Structure 1
């Protein structure tokens, strides 16, 4: 457990700006919070290396020389704490460096890559989960966002799985400022909305294919956007919005529809609820956990997404907001900070490194 005193914390991630996704939003918020608490945080990300665009996701950069250059960056910082966010080239370089030097480290499980790969390539889940299990089981703790995800990972042989919740900025997302999309766009209500990356694994076709009254609106950008625009001309695609317009647009929805079957949490669900918008989703991890105890009050989940949409319509917007207020970023930062493990407290740390840490 991390003491309250300031520490040098190295965080390695393959997901970083200009990417726009839940991992980046979570880590930018957590890193800002750690720095406010006095910690010296060194973030190592793809921008520190030479990189190439990820096939199918040009906004995602893959570092191809991290294995050779990571050690120089990490040694120069001389961290007391190591956390690895992702399992990509930067994360693998960080894992290799930490194990070679005897550093304990924590990891976090953000993305269900095995399901993504299976959707795109039909690669057996057992193969990719085997790789991820080996990656994370070398850590002293793997942080997971929900109880459902924790149970799933433990059932697949992941060890040392620990909870790490998420939060929402309730000042940025609120019911107060609400666009009138029916007037602006000249469309009929109700407004059924999805916000997020427009990619095949988000299962947006399940949402856009539903027989619902009113208008379906998609906010966001991604590689699947041209295909969806061509296939669903009746839907409205607003693209990526800036912070001010995004908050006002969330609040304009009558129901937020979350069709993903593979997300581990779904920060956009909290953003919608904070905006006073009820949520409809499949009964899968993420929605199941966020709506636990308030099913039927602030939204609905189930095997039938259309039925969930119709059930969520007309839910109490004030109750949606109140439920979102239970998820704070301060609690998220607290849990992350407590889970970190100082290197000098580890019995596996080489004696000379421990002595140097004590003298610092």
Structure 2
């Protein structure tokens, strides 16, 4: 495998891919589209090409079963110039093994704090999981991560090849005007202000920290996941919409008064930029992701008291939120990704 002088044949191997809907899939799909537009040939190999089994506790997320032999055939058929491994699942480990056996260089990306998730669900000591994650990523030539705060944490945990790789937002899709047809969501009867949370309805998203708050107006949750039914029973006054995609998701962002991000473990949070691009300020805890995306910019509020953050965010200037989000470009994100593949 040798890098081409011009357009590249780029192979991305990811355990997170369509039909899954999450930040990893959205990030990789958008970067692939940008690279293709620039002239590269990009192949994504995901679980959809393999026999799969459901992830325990997340039946909608499928994991490839014993994928290495078939994966090697697919890799040989594509003949890549560069390889990126996006996830640490069965496909990621299999591709890592193939690259090491053949002496190929490759990059990885760190999207998810799995040690924190596993500890929350199973009480497995975080140190064990972090050691495994470090072992996985250190075999590559660079670990891409989204924020300076995460980069500092990874370096503190012994990761030595950390590469900054920020994110972008689709400004044409997410914009304040998307909320002009408010009747389409049926929210006109909801008391204001509307506090919105969007994403997977799962334990790692810490939704209860939001739903249990004593806030004026209404709470809305856009998304689905394994906790949805239980949370609907516990918080009957919250409006749960299920998944919203395309124009409906953009409309939800733009109709809200504040976007609430209660997660303590996300490494970035694409939804933060999507909300800001829609003109909606953000309320969140001061943790990795919000600290880097929001920081001390006047586009929302970060506070260890999430209720206080929600109430302060109401006063943020919506035009300022949109202007701030406009600084984040998917084109720049794709260029940085490509540059990391060529780094020696």
TM-score bucket of the superposed structures, by smaller chain: over 0.9
1:173–1:247 contact (8 Å) kept in structure 2: yes
Q: TM-score, normalised by structure 2?
A: 0.96
For 1:79 and 1:3, how far apart are their aligned partners in 2? Answer: 10
- For each residue in 1:329-356, what CA deviation from the matched residue of structure 2 results, as whole angstroms up to 9, or x when unmatched? 01100110110038xxx7xxxxxxxxxx
- For each residue in 1:268-314, what CA deviation from the matched residue of structure 2 results, as whole angstroms up to 9, or x when unmatched? 000000000000000001000001341xx110101110111111112
C-alpha displacement of 1:177:
2.4
Alignment partner for residue 226 of structure 1, among 212, 226, 229? 229
- For each residue in 1:57-79, what CA deviation from the matched residue of structure 2 results, as whole angstroms up to 9, or x when unmatched? 12211001212321111122221
Q: TM-score, normalised by structure 1?
A: 0.92
Change (3 A) 1:303 1:192: same
C-alpha displacement of 1:185:
5.3
Q: Which runs of 5+ in 1 are unaligned?
A: 347-360
Alignment partner for residue 279 of structure 1, among 278, 282, 307? 282
SS at match of 2:77: helix
SS at match of 1:177: helix
Aligned residues: 341
- For each residue in 1:183-211, what CA deviation from the matched residue of structure 2 results, as whole angstroms up to 9, or x when unmatched? 63522110000010110100000000000
For 2:5 and 2:31, how far apart are their aligned partners in 1? Answer: 16
- For each residue in 1:143-172, what CA deviation from the matched residue of structure 2 results, as whole angstroms up to 9, or x when unmatched? 000000000000000111010000000110
For 2:140 and 2:95, how far apart are their aligned partners in 1? Answer: 11
2:258–2:281 contact (8 Å) kept in structure 1: yes
Q: Which runs of 5+ in 2 are unaligned?
A: none
For 2:280 and 2:173, how far apart are their aligned partners in 1? Answer: 14
SS at match of 1:238: strand
State the match for 2:317 in structure 1: 316
Alignment partner for residue 273 of structure 2, among 267, 270, 275? 270
SS at match of 2:176: coil
1:291-330 to 2 correspondences below 5 Å: 291-294=294-297, 297-330=298-331
State the match for 2:102 in structure 1: 101
State the match for 2:214 in structure 1: 211
2:4–2:81 contact (8 Å) kept in structure 1: no
C-alpha displacement of 1:80:
1.2
For 2:316 and 2:342, how far apart are their aligned partners in 1? Answer: 43
State the match for 1:157 in structure 2: 158
For 2:64 and 2:315, how far apart are their aligned partners in 1? Answer: 47
State the match for 1:146 in structure 2: 147
SS at match of 1:17: coil
Pick the structure with greater CA Rg.
1
Quote the RMSD (CA, aligned, Å): 1.6
State the match for 2:292 in structure 1: 289
Change (3 A) 1:247 1:66: same
Once superposed, which parts of structure 1, at least 4 consecutive aligned residues long, lie more than 3 Å away? 179-185
